[in-house]
Amino acid sequence: MLRKGAPLLLLNVLAAEGKKTSEGLSKEGRDAVFIKCDVTHGSQVKEMIDQVIGKFGKVDILINNAGITGLPKSVTETPEEEWIGF
């Protein structure tokens, strides 16, 4: 998708790694933006969504690759406090 011109938003709790990746893609002429975000904290996710909508106006495709495992129920049924610690 990035090669076809779609902008890319990278989220990670590891700021240095995320910035390095987005800067590398930008140097290749790709539209890549990094935002530090811990998806186990709803307030950070809300802030990130506000930033994304402010920059891009909408979200067309979302790929969740957070690597959080072991949840005993669906994502929509899991309270925020159960995400912490994964």
Tens digit of pLDDT at every position of the chain (86 positions): 888 888 889 999 999 999 999 999 999 888 899 999 988 888 998 999 999 999 889 988 888 777 666 656 776 787 777 766 55
pLDDT of residue 24: 93
pLDDT of residue 64: 78
Burial category of 22 from C-beta neighbours within 10 Å (exposed 0-12, middle 13-18, buried 19 and up): buried
pLDDT of residue 67: 66
Could you tell me which of 60, 68, 16, 63 has the C-alpha nearest to residue 39?
68
pLDDT of residue 25: 92
DSSP letter, residue 5: T
3-class SS of residue 10: strand
Domain ranges of the chain: 8-83
